[in-house]
Amino acid sequence: MTDDTILSVSGLSKNFKAVKAVRDVSFSIRRGKTFGLVGESGSGKSTTARLVLRLIEPTSGSIRFRGRELANFSPAELRAERRHMQMIFQDPYGSLNPRMSVRETLIEPQLVHGIGTPAERIQTAELLLAEVSLPRAALDRHPHEFSGGQRQRIAIARALATNPELIVADEPVSALDVSVQAQVLNLMRDLQDRHRTTMLFISHDLRVVQFMCDEIAVMYLGEVVEQGPRDRIYYSAAHPYTQALLASATGKRDGKRARLKGEIPSAHAVPSGCAFRTRCPHAFERCALEKPAIRDLGLGQKAACHLLDGQAVS
Amino acid sequence: MLRYLLKRFLLILPTIFVPLIIVFLLLRLSPGDPAGMMLGDQATPEQIEALRTQLGLNEPIWVQFAIWLKGILTLDLGNSIFFREPVMEVIPRYVSVTVLLTIVALILAVAIGITMGLISAMHRNKPIDRGVVAMAVLGISLPEFWFALLLIFVFAVTLRWFPVAGYNPPSAGLIAFGATILLPAIALGVRQSALMTRMMRSSMLDVLNEPYITTARAQGLPERKVIGSYAMRTAAIPVVTVAGLAAGYMLGGAVAIEIIFALPGLGRMLVEAVSRRDYPLVEGGVLTISLILAVLNLVIDVIYAILDPRIRYQ
Amino acid sequence: MTVRTASDSTPTAQPASARELVLEVRDLSVSLRNADGLLPIVTDVSFSIAEGEAVALAGESGCGKSITASAIMGIAPDNAEISGTIILNGAAISGLPHRERRKLCGRHMGFIFQEPMTALHPTLTVGRQMTDTLRHNLGLSHAAATDRAAELLDRVGIPRAREILKGYVHELSGGMRQRVMIALAISCGPSLVIADEPTTALDVTIQAQVLDLLDEMRREFELAMLFITHDLELVGDFCDRAVVMYAGDVVERGRAADIVRSPAHPYARGLIDAMPRHGDQRARLTPIPGTVPPVGHWPQGCRFAPRCSRAGKKCTVRPPLAVHIRSDVRCWYPLKVGQ
């Protein structure tokens, strides 16, 4: 792990009683890059996001943030470390405190982490508002006076208030209309360029992920089935699930769409061997017996599938 | 379903025992000598001592508790000091009155409450709705004893339709029974019906906004079915809660009504027993009320499970 | 330059083939009456759908597509005032009294909602919900209705149909629930099905399955389908024709593939440009500046003008829906093909 790696997750697992929500997930993110976690219901992507921020405790595995193992932090140290990691949530209507004015919302993170003098905090709040293209008059207003897209901007401004190293964005634009989504996505890209913030971007929408992310990990039932640089995933996806996701999303009606059969299995009853085998059009006997190992396919791309045996690089 | 019922049944046991233990301790540990208080100033020390031995008050507390517990389990609750009869024979005479009163009052309250609430919800903001809501507010604000006296004054004293006070059991004939039970039931039921009207109204208004009601209408189902089957089924659940609370209240505490109408009910019996220091009867009364409330709660839980299948799986 | 106003006799307003028209909507306007007066929500919407055709009512939130659909279904809110003509299978239904309109639901028109979790009754069995509508609309006996319900569930790809009939909605996954909704919508053999964002709440791989199913149903039963959505990519893939709405107006109307590939109205163009698309190599998306004007605050003249890069002098007057090269457009300066 180089000094440039902001976040490194290894063997991360989380069980909620009988449900294995996250199973042996590993990835790392370099400074200034955007890493996308893509998946459908039950994929474990949102749980992974919360584990990374240590909002919930992992069952096992390591999370190294800024070079230090998060599990080794005392509660006080962890609280202090949180200024370097912030989150943007999906629901613009639930993630802002309705009783706090925008000014208070933007000042609070600074206050909590003891950043700056009161005058400086207000100044930062004003600067942040300008960065997200909201007028200064917004400072005195409350969340209910804003539209969904505007609230997300406020949430983004709040996330930037402590100048964090890492921002975790959990489906930040899923609840927004297309034209508003475009504005917010552009904004996030601009801010990231300007502040060199590292981002973990979670979404179910492959189109958005392709636009935003440098590297992508595809999750299914708690595991990473494929990961790699964006273009590799889009133009030469190796795992049947990734291929199906791409096909569903782009599919023309009369074209040959690789239609997945069946439903996503419940996380209570993960299929043996390869979890995807119950829906995979190419499944064969080995898939039920043996869990596929992650194979390195070169150029940074990795996938876990028995079909790739001949293609593995190492 | 069975597991759910079993769980609920097991929860009854602490509900019954905790009040009993509290009463047991309160009686034994309160200052003053119960035997002396029971026999009065004229008692000789020998008489007091004899009563103390008879009541087992000289034994260590845990022995007393063991004896007491044995008594409960064998349904031998001792003799009432005032009535000089077994407690097990005294209580049923009073319980039957309270139970009958509660049933009649509850039927009135539920019938009026659900009907009014339904009408109100379906004609929201129209004059009839406003009228019903105003009446409901009035009903909730009325002190029961004042309303009881008013009823007596109008219907018994002035119009002479009903007797002023007293009780005729059902064995004396339906008309005679009805004459003595109706006014108290109205006095008791009006306030509860007002509460139920409000609950039914707000619950129904919520449910009528739910998408599944729109679907039912979109299926072409007639409005009476949409309201009667589809809406009522979910809207009724909070009303069942209120009805249960009402029943609990009526069963355990309609003392004022019982006194005003001179009904020999359980509440009145208990109050008089306490003032007479008739400990066995007090304990018996508390046990009875606890039992009745516990059974009532179980019945309500069963109704919930019938109305809402999702609850059966908890 | 004379402007040919698009009426229902113009080519693009009607389907290409001479199939029977199931639904005709002419000059539909919906206003809501509240304490402050009459608030127009939707103005002069016209389109038609033939047997077996899928027409999209497309637009973002606040454009009026949902209330248009509920006006067609006859389940608009009580304070809605509706003008215009709605013709179903050749018979005018817009003038009918409320109760008669309701009778058409289920039997002649089916409805599929967005969120199947909340659109199906939580505490009645699936079977009960299906047999209720079958018995009421088709007069079947309980046994016959149950058989038909099992057949329908089977047809929409739900395994172990008889068991599912005895179960409840919360026991099913999102995709399953939506299949139940579809079965319910087509159960009484309607000629028109209105689907309100039927796949938005579903996972991507399940969306594809459900869309395939809708397609199958449409072909098999020659259903006319009105597809309400905000996803233009879906419109292009799935629908034959599209009606794009903005701020209560129809702004473009024509063949879906044409509109998505080469829209004439600047708003439609803007929507396409704002979407991140597969194979997109752009560093930035091209959002539409500004925001949708709230209902009641529509600008005079063209409602899109304040946000439009092509706005000109004429835009102070509301443009009519006019025939353009391949679609009907409500714009004084429509885009040409390939712009």
Residue C99 sits at the chain A interface (C-beta within 8 Å):
no
Q: Which tokens go with A70?
A: 């998060």
Tell me: pLDDT of C10 over 80: no
Q: Where do the domains of chain B lie?
A: 10-73, 87-313
CA distance A67 to chain C (A): 31
Q: Give the least confident one: A96-105, A249-258, B113-122, C108-117.
A: A249-258
Tabulate helix, strand, coil % of chain C (nearest 5): 35, 25, 40
Token look-up 């009155």 returns B97
- Distance, CA of B48 to CA of A93 (rounded, Å): 73
Mean per-residue pLDDT over chain C, rounded: 88
The contacts found for B293-297 with CB under 8 angstroms, 24 or more apart, are B293/B15, B293/B248, B293/B251, B293/B252, B294/B12, B294/B15, B294/B16, B295/B12, B296/B244, B296/B247, B296/B248, B296/B251, B297/B8, B297/B12, B297/B15, B297/B244, B297/B248
Q: Which tokens go with C335?
A: 């885009």
Whether residue C201 contacts residue C118, with contact meaning beta carbons closer than 8 Å, is answered with: no
Q: Which tokens go with B71?
A: 């008594």
Tens of pLDDT along C29-56? 999 988 888 899 999 999 999 999 999 9
Nearest to A263 among C176, C275, C279 (CB): C176
Tens of pLDDT along C229-285? 988 888 988 899 999 999 999 999 999 999 998 999 999 999 988 888 776 777 888
Closest to C71 measured CA to CA, from C45, C48, C49: C45
Closest to B98 measured CA to CA, from B247, B301, B241: B247
Residue C207 sits at the chain A interface (C-beta within 8 Å):
yes
- Distance, CA of A185 to CA of A137 (rounded, Å): 23
Question: What confidence score (pLDDT) does residue C2 get?
Answer: 46
Residue B235 sits at the chain C interface (C-beta within 8 Å):
no
- Distance, CA of A227 to CA of C30 (rounded, Å): 50
Cβ distance B218 to C122 less than 8 Å, yes or no, reads no
Whether residue A154 contacts residue A130, with contact meaning beta carbons closer than 8 Å, is answered with: no
Whether residue A153 contacts residue A187, with contact meaning beta carbons closer than 8 Å, is answered with: yes
Nearest to B220 among C103, C118, C122 (CB): C103
Closest to C120 measured CA to CA, from C186, C161, C174: C174
Residue C270 sits at the chain A interface (C-beta within 8 Å):
yes
DSSP of B149-160: HHHIIIIIIIS-
Mean per-residue pLDDT over chain B, rounded: 85
As a whole-number percent, the residues of chain C with pLDDT over 90 amount to 55
Instruction: Measure CA of the first residue to CA of the last residue in chain C; give whole Å.
Output: 21
B221: left (phi over 0), alpha (psi -120 to 50) or beta: beta
As a whole-number percent, the residues of chain C with pLDDT over 70 amount to 94
Q: How far is CA B167 from the centre of its chain?
A: 19
Q: Give the least confident one: A204-213, B51-60, B273-282, C311-320.
A: B51-60
**What CA dihedral angle connects C101, C106, C110 and C113, to 10 degrees?**
100
Dihedral pair phi/psi, residue A31, rounded to 5°: -55, 135
- The answer for C 170-189 residues in CB contact with B (under 8 A) is 170, 181, 184, 188
Bigger pLDDT: A3 vs C305:
C305
CATH placement of domain B87-313: 1.10.3720.10
Q: List all chains that touch chain B, counting a touch as 3 or more CB pairs closer than 8 Å.
A: C
Residues of C whose CB is below 8 A from B309: 123, 168
Tell me: pLDDT of B33 over 80: no
Q: Which tokens go with A308?
A: 């790739």
Over range A62-80, report the average pLDDT. 90
Q: Which tokens go with A226?
A: 């494929």
Whether chains B and C touch (3+ CB pairs under 8 A) is answered by yes
Residues of A whose CB is below 8 A from C261: none
Q: Which tokens go with C211?
A: 């869309």
Over range A62-67, report the average pLDDT. 91
DSSP assigned state of A292: P
B112: CB partners within 8 A, 6+ apart: B189, B193, B196, B197
Question: What confidence score (pLDDT) does residue B64 get?
Answer: 78
- Measure the CA angle with vertex B66, ends B62 and B67; round to 5°: 120
Question: What confidence score (pLDDT) does residue B32 get?
Answer: 65
Residues of C whose CB is below 8 A from B218: 73, 75, 105-106, 109-111
Tell me: pLDDT of B66 over 90: no
A256: CB partners within 8 A, 6+ apart: none
CB-based burial of residue C230 (10 Å sphere; 0-12 exposed, 13-18 middle, 19+ buried)? middle
Question: What confidence score (pLDDT) does residue C130 get?
Answer: 94
Question: What confidence score (pLDDT) does residue A250 get?
Answer: 61
Q: How far is residue A80 from each of residues A74, A229, C44, measured CA to CA in Å?
A: 10, 32, 59
Q: Which domains does chain A have, with CATH numbers?
A: 5-234 (3.40.50.300)
Total length of chain A: 314
Question: From the DSSP assignment, how many helices (H) and strands (E) are in chain C?
Answer: 11, 12
Whether residue C253 contacts residue C241, with contact meaning beta carbons closer than 8 Å, is answered with: yes
ipTM: 0.85
Q: Where residue A251 falls among pLDDT bands split at 50, 70, 90?
A: low
Tens of pLDDT along C122-140? 999 999 999 999 999 999 9
* pTM score: 0.84
Tens of pLDDT along A179-195? 888 999 999 999 888 88
Tens of pLDDT along A5-45? 999 999 999 999 888 899 999 999 999 999 999 998 889 99
Q: Where residue C11 falls among pLDDT bands split at 50, 70, 90?
A: very low
A51: CB partners within 8 A, 6+ apart: A12, A14, A22, A57, A58, A63
CA distance C211 to chain A (A): 9
Cβ distance B218 to C170 less than 8 Å, yes or no, reads no
Over range C301-315, report the average pLDDT. 91
Closest to C194 measured CA to CA, from C147, C243, C138: C243
Whether residue B89 contacts residue B282, with contact meaning beta carbons closer than 8 Å, is answered with: no
Cβ distance B210 to C113 less than 8 Å, yes or no, reads no
Cβ distance C118 to B210 less than 8 Å, yes or no, reads yes
